[in-house]
Structure 1
Amino acid sequence: MEIPRMSQFPLFLLVVWGFGGLEAPAEAQDVHCYEAFDEATGSCHNLLGTGVATQDCCLNHAYGFQAGDGAPCQSCRSANWSQWSAWGPCSVSCMEGIQRRKRTCYGWNKGTCTEGTHEWEARSCTPQDCCPVDGGWSSWSAWSPCSVTCLRGFETRQRTCTNPAPVCGGICPGNKEERVPCDTRQICPTHGNWGNWGNWEACPATCTHEGSSQKPQQQRRRLCNNPFPSTMPPGNPCPGSDRDHQDCVGLPFCPRDGNWGAWQPSSPCSVTCGVGRVVEARRCNNPEPKYGGRNCPGQDTRNHICNTGMPCPVDGQWTEWSQWSKCERLGANFRINCEDIDGTQSRTRMCSGRAHDGKRCEGKDRIEMRSCYDIHLCSMKGTWADWSPWGLCEPACGPNPVRTRVKECKPTYENYPEQVEGQNGQMQDVNFWGKPIPKCTPLDGQKFKVEERTPCLNVPRCED
């Protein structure tokens, strides 16, 4: 076991929940083939065609497919986890609650996880430290004067939400203003106002050929009846004229509808591997629409499936580093365990999954070496570390989740030099290997670790 030197880690708790793997169709089955698979939603996009053999569609690992109408979308790649979703909303609007996020395993072939399963994480959240408390209304003000000087209007009064004022976003229920009708017992004059303009008179023609210069007049009228001006008391007449004129200019030319030309190929196959598309195009030029004539109906492009029969490249990916080997001093005939004598240890990784001339793994390191001290089961002086951060809520989707933090007895390394001279003659850091036995003054009756647990509050039900 490797102990990182003088470092502390927060405790992360994870629960895996699955809804069952999606079955991949047999290789001979014809499917709906798509150009793109969205791992954020598990959906397919850009349909290439239907009735495509699964092995042909999945020549490109970035593609996706459906076994039939309404069937779930599946990815052509090897099964692997999607990115974590964004954290969901907090389960409460105030005080402490909980929020969750998840990721999903997508892929057709066998991979690092089971297709269709979920992983969930949960953590506590506090949208705001206090909850809203409603306030109380002040007394009503005196009624205002009537809003008009003739006929009927309104009187109003107000009150304020200050008795007491609301706290933390609270409100005062009800209206802050009241109004009642009032009557001045006075008659108001009615001023005249124009009604709507009538329709323009028809022009002599509805369309014309190019070169026409006739500009006949057209007119429209309106009446002062919206409303009529009163006579007692006298109201003002409508201002302006009751007639309006304009030239019949800009008459449209008579329209000519468009018609499609012949289909013409406009692109080669869209891909050099796997399944793609060929695009054909046509122009609305036989003849073109003119003077407001209708455009050609339908689409100006159409697609056809093209199959290169060639598998697409798959780039290589580094595997995880192996565990560090035991700390040893090669060729030494003496013991280095629990001594300030440095040794060496190594770890390896492999470039796997590369196929069909895909890219090799970036970087050249397949093996790493480092200097080390063997402190496995060594008795060492220790000190109590600070409390770790609170961990995630566990279980994420089970009953009564709790979160935990710990305080640990950590070894000190007073008698070990921090650096040694490496094989290249340069000074390099030395790591500690093994699990030592630190000695601290007991805390709460514990010698090595003290743990605190607290419940997660306002936990909603899981959606799946």
Structure 2
Amino acid sequence: MEVSTLSLLNGKFDSPTNCSPHLHFPANWGEWGAWNSCPVTCGGGQRISYRFCDDPPPSAGGSNCIGSNLKTDVCATDTCPVHGNWERWGAWNRCPVTCGGGRQISNRACNDPSPSNGGSACSGNSKKLRSCASDECPVHGNWGGWGAWNRCPVTCGGGRQISNRACNDPSPSGGGSACGTDSKKFRSCASDECPVQGNWGGWGAWNRCSVTCGGGRQISNRACNDPSPSGGGSACGGNSKKFRSCATKECPVHGNWGGWGAWNSCPVTCGGGRQISNRACNDPSPSGGGSACSGYSKKFRSCATNACPGK
């Protein structure tokens, strides 16, 4: 019985009726082929080897090859290097200040993925910065130190010195409040009494004349009180009194009798005579309109009253 070649290759007979049903030709696998190239170089891949059911192929109703026509094998099992890659930038941190300029930070990690197995780290920076709260801060003014006292304007009698301070430690800025109003302070200086040199006050009125005629003297006084000497100042020089004549007209002198003079000699020796005694208005004499003496300047008396002989 003939079996066609095509029927053998197809694993069946063209006409099974043309041969004995008990004649079979079982198929058999050929040798495994070479492994194909590993599709990866690391991390584990799979390579494949094939075989064909052709040694011989099934024919004349023989059974096909049993089993798989391919086999696999793990290849490139070394762990792959993982190159690091940055994750997304994180949120900006809170600004550390509210004014005057601060700095915010945003971070990122080299973990998407992290480098491993000899892979390269991420390149670039893990932090980025930006300015924040850049408005000028309000600076409240504060007093600087007190300055030196200025020179006392006087050397005695009491003066006042001034010390100043400035609102500059710091100066107010950015809407900050100013210092208060006490930028000056005062103290007394040169408090010793100044020497005051005495000076005469004006002359006073003349006092009343001591007489009404005949010449008197009036006095005018002045005091060393304009000002009075004090604090070691010198007294006034010169006189505190001045004088002037007053009532210089001659006073009226009323005449007054001087004493009676001696009686003159009796002009007769007998028969009765008369003696005279005189007095003068000269004690004092009237002058300056004074009145003359009143009365008589002569007085008489009888003398030689004895009778003359022969009568």
Query: Highest CA radius of gyration, 1 or 2?
Result: 2
TM-score between the two structures when normalised by the length of structure 1: 0.20
